[in-house]
């Protein structure tokens, strides 16, 4: 592994961003700052960063996967399929489950961003 300028650029881009970005949004952002960069380079760099664990990818129920910098602390989300509202789940709600599974299955779990879909209070009434 080597010091790649594409990787750097992507990390910076994600760093400035508080929300999640799709791969295409990332490509666009990076392309703005370095138009010479080839699409395939960006997509491959993104792949690389995910494999290295520097970037986290998750499906938030939009058509496409979204990316973010891997944070220090795990965090999780509830996504309402009715109104699209997103609720943050405190990690201590999830952490015990994770360590249980690790114990029972002799696993070291890397997933640090769970996304659960469902219906929030309001939208349950509507449906």
Name residues contacting DNA, limited to 46-105 (CB under 7 A): 47-48, 63-64
The Cα–Cα gap between 24 and 12 comes to: 16
Whether residue 58 contacts residue 66, with contact meaning beta carbons closer than 8 Å, is answered with yes
Nearer to a second copy, 9 or 80 (CB): 80
Question: Near a second copy by CB under 8 A, which window of 3-11, 20-28, 33-41, 98-106?
Answer: 98-106
| 51-71 core/surface letters (b: 16 or more CB in 10 A; e: else) | eeeebbbbebeeeeebbbebe
Residues 50-89 that bind a second copy (CB under 8 A): 59, 65, 78, 80-81, 87, 89
Is 37 an interacting residue with respect to DNA (CB under 7 A)? yes
Helix H or strand E encompassing 104 = helix 91-105
Chain positions contacting a second copy, by CB under 8 A: 59, 65, 78, 80-81, 87, 89, 93-94, 97-98, 100-102, 104-111, 114-121, 124
């Amino acid at each position: 592994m080597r010091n790649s300028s594409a990787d750097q650029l992507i990390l910076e881009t994600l760093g400035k961003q508080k929300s999640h970005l799709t791969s295409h949004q990332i490509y666009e952002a990076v392309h703005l700052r370095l138009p010479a960069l080839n699409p395939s380079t960006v997509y491959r760099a993104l792949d690389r960063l995910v494999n290295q664990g520097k970037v986290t990818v998750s499906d938030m129920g939009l058509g496409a996967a979204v990316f973010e910098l891997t944070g220090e602390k795990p965090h999780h989300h509830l996504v309402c399929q009715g109104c699209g509202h997103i609720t943050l789940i405190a990690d201590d709600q999830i952490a015990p489950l994770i360590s249980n599974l690790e114990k029972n299955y002799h696993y070291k779990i890397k997933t640090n961003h769970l996304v659960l879909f469902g219906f929030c209070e309001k939208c349950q009434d509507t449906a």
